[in-house]
Amino acid sequence: MRRLIHVFVAVSLAVVSPVLARAQEPAPSPSPSPAAGPALPPPPAPAPEPPGGSSGSGGVGPASSKVFNPDMAVIGDFVGAIGKSPGGGEPSLEMHEVEASFQAIVDPYARADFFLAFNPEGVEIEEAFITFPTLPGGLLMKVGKLRAAFGKVNTLHNHTLPWTDRPLMIQNLVGGEEGLGDAGISLSRLFPNRYVFLEATGEVYRGQNEVFKGEDRGDLAYLGRLRAYRDLTESSNLDLGGSFASGASGEGPGLKRLLIGVDATFRYRPLRRAIYRRFLARTELVWSRMEGQDRKHDAFGMYASAEYQFARRWFTGVRYDRSRQAVAPSGSDTGTSLTLTYWPSEFSQIRGQYRRTGPAAGEARNEVLFQFLFSIGAHGAHVF
């Protein structure tokens, strides 16, 4: 019994003695707390990353720069002429025009288009307008300086023409190269149905251009157009249109000028050989009536043309013109043209044109015209 007590005491001392030794160690002195002072400001927040990500030292990514820059393009139009041309005509060599375009979406409701033309006479605004495509009632509105929606050729810029020049009808009756272009407002609406795509357009202009000569604020010009389009087959379609325009004649107070036009376009493009074969036939007819101080002057003009693509980059065409002058006493100017066009790429064209013109009064002219078209940048599509 005594031996068991001695064993119990030894075990208890072995267990308890280390605990008592740690309890007798002095506690560490507390570290001094820092002196009270003003609170430090929080660290600045990191600068937000620009939209589109960083692009080096500039800090603006390519996507961001694209948002704020419009599509820009420059198109050169160089024209030369060979042959005798009594009474004038194109110069032997000329940088006929340089067109600069700027096009972009303004906001979810509108887009803007600017076209500036540089020529030997100076710089002019060819077109500059804003388009609202989603107005109530399915309306589309354009506001600015526009090429009026009269016929087909009047709406085309020089570099989109299938010829080096414009038809005699356009030159004599519809204002020539400048055409029916003026500051105004255009409203149009599509009327789709099971038979044709129908588009109606109404426009009002200031009334001061190459055709109308308004002198007062109230001398506005008015224009209307109805266009019908239908696919005939999977490879062909027909486009018909009728137009009228009315404004001040410039011959005196209250005297008017009226234009009525009809146009037709047939297109054929086989789907399986679309890049090798294409055919387009087009005609326009215009009647003009100008009120003068003593009498009314009536005139008629027309052209008919055909263009055929016979290889991937080669096109040929023919055009016949006939037109009276707006105030000519009698007789009509006539013309015939043959064209050959080569497209090295979608950014350039080389064209040759033989033109024979028979004026109503004067000597006939035989000329050979050649043209170089070249473009850089992103240029939007034009009117179809």
So where are the chain's domains? 124-377
> Taking Cα atoms as reference points, which of 141, 162, 241 lies closest to residue 199?
241
> Taking Cα atoms as reference points, which of 142, 169, 143 lies closest to residue 154?
169
> Taking Cα atoms as reference points, which of 157, 209, 153, 145 lies closest to residue 373?
157
d(CA 236, CA 332): 34
> What is the pLDDT at residue 15?
41
Q: Percent of the chain at pLDDT above 70? A: 81
> What is the pLDDT at residue 329?
66
Of residues 285 and 43, more confidently modeled: 285
Amino acid at 17: S
> What is the pLDDT at residue 84?
81
Structure tokens at 181: 């272009």
pLDDT in tens, 20-74: 444 444 444 444 444 444 455 555 555 554 444 444 444 445 555 566 789 999 9
> What is the pLDDT at residue 331?
84
> For residue 174, what are the CA distances in angstroms to 149, 154, 170, 284?
12, 8, 5, 12
Produce one character per residue of 52-68: b if its CB has 16 or more CB atoms within 10 Å, e if not.
eeeeeeeeebeebeeee
Produce one character per residue of 156-177: b if its CB has 16 or more CB atoms within 10 Å, e if not.
bbbbebbbbbbbbbbbbbbbee
d(CA 237, CA 381): 19
> What is the pLDDT at residue 101?
96
> For residue 98, what are the CA distances in angstroms to 69, 94, 121, 150, 181?
21, 11, 12, 24, 18
DSSP structural state of residue 213: B
Rg (alpha carbons) of the chain, rounded to whole number: 39
Structure tokens at 188: 């149009």
For residues 164-180, average pLDDT: 93
pLDDT in tens, 119-141: 999 999 999 999 999 999 999 99
For residues 279-284, average pLDDT: 98
Strands (E), 45-180: 71-82, 93-107, 110-119, 122-135, 139-147
- CATH number assigned to the domain with residue range 124-377, chosen from the 4 options 2.40.160.10, 3.40.1190.20, 3.30.200.20, 3.90.180.10: 2.40.160.10
Question: Residue 381's pLDDT band (boundaries 50, 70, 90)?
Answer: low
Of 49-53, 115-119, 164-168, 262-266, the range with the lowest mean pLDDT is 49-53
Q: Percent of the chain at pLDDT above 90? A: 65
Residues 6+ apart with CB under 8 A from 25: none
Structure tokens at 164: 């080096």
> What is the pLDDT at residue 378?
83
